Every structure is written in structure tokens, then in C-alpha cells.
Structure 1
Amino acid sequence: MTRLLILRHAAPLTGGRLAGRTDVDADCSDAAAFDWIRARIGQIGRVLSSPARRCLQTAEALSMPPHATSQALWEQDYGAWEGLAYGDLPDLGPLPPARLARHRPEGGESFDDMAARVLTELRGIDRDTLIVGHAGTVRAALSMVVGPAALSFAVAPLSLTVLRRAGDDWAVEFVNVTAP
């Protein structure tokens, strides 16, 4: 059995703007939360990270430097939406999860596009691994179990999600666990 621990980076310092591929810093000031998450993760043999600065800073604050980074683990590219204030993002209205997963912002990628590259990376993991990534990384991993309904999961900053694999079958142990 292989365990995949996915930690969303600490709160991004975006000034209230969408930062998918925009490289921003993380707020790594909550030492108690980092201590709690580090204890929850425990001993892990391999750490893999998105190359985003916010992910690398989170790994450093955990004292768990990545063994490698992967371009495949970058957050979704929101194209024309990058840098928009959250209140200025277009309202797509109610969409079924599968249709929302296919929606591609102008000049960007859909959730399905992002998940395809992330899942290629995740499916190649053959030992217990901690991934320091993004909300999209977590949802992509969850999509291996629940499909496009993964878009409905909340993924808080500095939250831990754990999946396990036996053969080709993935199961969810827990999602979005944060320090008390």
C-alpha cells in the first residue's frame, strides 16, 4: 500500500487576487500550525513539490525540503483570470461538475487539463510521498476517486489530504485537515 500525503501550501499572499500560475509568497508565520501539521505528517521518505515559491516556502517552514520539484504540480493556469480580484471573477452560474471541469478560461487551462498533468505525476509515485502543492493538486488527486465531483471539496491553506493506493485502486483516508 502506498500513501500519498498532499499538503496545500500556506496562505498565499495575493492581496485578494487569483494567483494560479502567478508566483507569490506564502504566509509561513503560524509556527504552531506548522508544528501541528509536521507532527501529523510524521516521518516521510520522499517530499515532492510544485516549483511555486509558496510551496517551496511551505516545505522549508516544515523543515521538509523537497527531494524534487515537478512542473506538472503547478496550480491551474487561469489565463485571463490571473490577477483578478476574487469579486471580479466571472460568474459561470450553476454548472454540473463535469461541465465545470471542462471550462477553460481564455488563455488558460481547464481543471481537466490541469488534472491530466498532475495525475500523470501522481500515478507514477511508488512509495509513501508528501506532495507540497496547491488546491488544484489536491482536487486532481481526489478526482482519481470521485471524478469531477472533486471540484466540490474545500481545500484550506496548510491543509493535509491523504490518499492510499493498493494496486491501481485509490481510496481517500481524509481531506482538508488543518491545525486546530
Structure 2
Amino acid sequence: MRVMILRHAMPLTGGRLAGRTEVDADCSDRTALAAMAARVVGAEVIASPARRCIQTADAMGLSPVRVDPALWEQDYGAWEGQSYADLPDLGPLPLEALAAHRPPGGESFRDMAARVRPVLEGLERDTLLIAHAGTVRAGLAMVVGDAALSFSVAPLSLTILRRAGPEWAVEAVNLTWP
């Protein structure tokens, strides 16, 4: 069984952190959207309820989709909506400390991964999730642990996980068009 996790198209954040903040997606690259849609034919489609994820699904011709609120991006609490330049500098942190860090009023990466994991483990057939960079990393964390935080996840990129019985493996990470 394969789980394909597609990060939504480029979010139009205006240079601000938009974990749970609703922003639009730039779905203007119709060629890339069509190419991604061709890669995921036949899979069940589940999306985060975020507007940018639903817009990506619509632009790929995959709507209507089932929506699962557990697929939302990490909640950055007080950091939501801040410009990237104004976010606090945490300094060098070991991956374990970074994964456990909670922004004020938000959730840690581990909290988010614990929310996403039951969705992934409950899937029974090839499935496409249209979600966020954090969701991709949460899936990768099932195989590589906190090292998942070291992966870059491009907009409109596809990551594929494979499950055989209870075991998960990474098939591909960050596939983009072309």
C-alpha cells in the first residue's frame, strides 16, 4: 500500500508564517498541476481542510475530496501570521529538542506528528493526501524519526511512503515537476 503526500501549491503568505492561517495557493502552473495529477491516478484523495489544499485539489481536477482536519499544518500559536524576519531565533538545537519545542500557544512537531500518524496508519489502500510540509515530515518521521525535520519539502512536491504489514518505508521524497 502506498501513501502519496502532496504538498499544496505555493502558498501566498506575503512573507508570513501560515501554519493554521488560511491563505490562497498559487495554482497558475497548470502544466505542473496536470503532471502531478497524472502521477496519482486511481488513488483515494484526502485533503487537509486548509483553503490552499482544497484549491490545489480543485486545480488538479481531483475535487470533490474527503477532508480530514487531522491533516492540518502544525499550529504555530503566537507565531502565526508573523513575518519570517520577526520569528524568534531558537539558535542551534539538536533535532530532538527542535521536535519537542512548542511555540507559545501552539503545538510541537511531535504533537502534530502524533495527530497525523493515526490517519496514515488507518489507510487501507493507495491514497493521496494533499496537505502541508509538516504533514509530509510527520509521515517521514514514522520511518526516520526526528530526522524528518531535516527534509526540505517544496510546494507541489510528492513524497511516497510504502507500507507492508506494520512496516513503513520511504519510496521517494520531494518529487517535483518536471
> Into which bin does the TM-score normalised by the smaller protein fall?
over 0.9
Residue 141 of structure 1 and its aligned partner are, at CA, apart by 0.1
Is the 1:48–1:66 Cα contact (8 Å) retained in structure 2?
A: no
Partner of 2:52: 54
**What is the distance in 2 between the residues matched to 1:152 and 1:54?**
24
Return the alpha-carbon distance in structure 1 between the equivalents of residues 49 and 89 of structure 2: 30
SS in 1 for 2:172: strand
Q: Which amino acid aligns with 2:168?
A: W
Distance across 1 between alignment mates of 2:102 and 2:119 = 21
8 A contact 1:10–1:26 mirrored in 2: yes
Partner AA of 2:164 in structure 1: A
CA distance in 2, matches of 1:40, 1:132: 13
2: CA distance between counterparts of 1:81 and 1:57?
Answer: 24
1:136–1:66 CA distance, 2 compared to 1 (3 A): farther
TM-score using structure 2 length: 0.98
Unaligned runs of 5+ in 1: none
Identity of aligned residues (%): 67
| 1:104 has 2:137 as partner | no
1:87 and 2:85 equivalent?
A: yes
The question of whether the paired residues in 1 share the 8 Å contact of 2:57 and 2:65 is answered with no
Structure 2 counterpart of 1:71, one-letter code: P
Indicate conservation of the 8 Å contact 1:97/1:148, yes or no: yes
2:146 maps to 148
TM, length-normalised to structure 1? 0.96
Amino acid at match of 1:26: A
Aligned partner letter, 2:88: P
Asked if the contact 1:49–1:66 (Cα under 8 Å) also holds between the matched residues in 2, the reply is no
Aligned AA for 1:3? R
Q: Which runs of 4+ in 1 moved over 4 A?
A: none
Q: Give the Å deviation of 1:66.
A: 4.7
Provide Cα deviations, 1:79-116, integer angstroms capped at 9, x if missing partner. 01101111111111111111100000000000001110
CA-based RMSD of the aligned residues comes to 0.9
Paired with 2:91 and 2:112, the residues of 1 have a C-alpha distance of 21
* Whole-angstrom CA distance in 1 between matches of 2:7 and 2:64: 14
Map 1:114-153 → 2, pairs under 5 A = 114-153=112-151
